[in-house]
Amino acid sequence: MAERTLFQKIIDRDVPADIVYEDDQCIAFHDINPQAPTHILIVPRKPIPSVDEITEEDEPLIGHLFVVAKHLAEEEGLEHGYRTVFNCGDHGQQSVDHLHLHLLGGRQLSWPPG
């Protein structure tokens, strides 16, 4: 059996997190190392290691993550805009091998992102 990721431990409630949303498909919580005033991670309950591992059957789930991001952005008052990001692989700075969508906002973000 593969070792559970940090995010799976949060989903299983073995590691505490500041959870702001959850449903039967995903969970969302504040990042412990925020890169913006609002930095929420939206994590599918299904353990998909990365963007490279998404399959066609995951299409409704991935769309759901973005709908959740939109609603959380509204709740957070990000009316001036926000960014959603999937990191993938070492060069993409993916730090946990469990797919997660970053929701960042609350300040002017720069481009390119770095």
Alpha helices in 18-104 (DSSP H): 59-75
Question: What does the chain come to in residues?
Answer: 114
Residue 1 exposure: Cα atoms within 13 Å on the Cβ side? 3
Catalytic-residue membership of 98: no
Whether 107 and 18 have beta carbons less than 8 Å apart is answered as no
Whether 45 and 26 have beta carbons less than 8 Å apart is answered as yes
Residue 27 exposure: Cα atoms within 13 Å on the Cβ side? 18
Please identify which residue in the block is written with the tokens 């591992």.
53
Choosing from 30, 39, 98, 100, the catalytic residue is 100
Q: Could you list the active site residues? A: 100
